[in-house]
Amino acid sequence: MEVGQTSQATIYARVPWNDTKIDLVEGSLYRFTADGTWWDLVIRTDADGYPTKVWPQAYYESQRPVPDALWFCLVGVVKETDGPAFVIGRRNEIEASRSGRLFCCANDAPNFYFNNFGKVQLEVERIR
């Protein structure tokens, strides 16, 4: 993707890592915009996520891709490099720390994607 171009991807709440088919370039700045609604069983939220609501969730917080981020916050990772996951949320600008394919998911514990529903539409624009 060249500077000024945009790409879109659908991120499903039930899929642990959605392949966006978007390649990021190290050092480039990207604008991320995510719209839509997804559910963690019965908890409805957007790509900014929600705080821990019930005590059993607290036990699993450390297992999420980004442990310090909210539940169901949209997160991403550049898979080819095994780098750390990062927060995207509903709106964010991020400089790519490495080059490679962007994968995204709802910030949930690994064994609990089965009870997730919904999707968000992600738009990525390379702005520098």
Domains along the sequence of the chain with CATH: 6-126 (2.60.120.430)
Amino acid symbol at 127: I
Segment holding 55, helix H or strand E: helix 55-60
**Matching residue, tokens 């927060």:** 87
pLDDT tens digits for range 50-64: 999 888 899 999 999
d(CA 95, CA 97): 6
Tell me what pLDDT residue 78 has. 93
pLDDT tens digits for range 64-77: 999 999 999 999 99
Instruction: Give the model's confidence band at 9: pLDDT under 50 very low, under 70 low, under 90 confident, else very high.
Output: very high
Tell me what pLDDT residue 81 has. 63
Kindly list the strands in the beta sheet with 86-87, ordered across the sheet, starting from the edge strand earlier in the chain.
18-24, 100-106, 74-78, 86-87
The model scores a pTM over 0.85? yes
pLDDT tens digits for range 23-36: 999 999 999 999 99
For 1, the token pair is 């993707």
CA distances from 71 to 4, 29, 55, 94 (A): 31, 25, 13, 20
d(CA 56, CA 127): 41
What average pLDDT does the structure give for the chain? 95
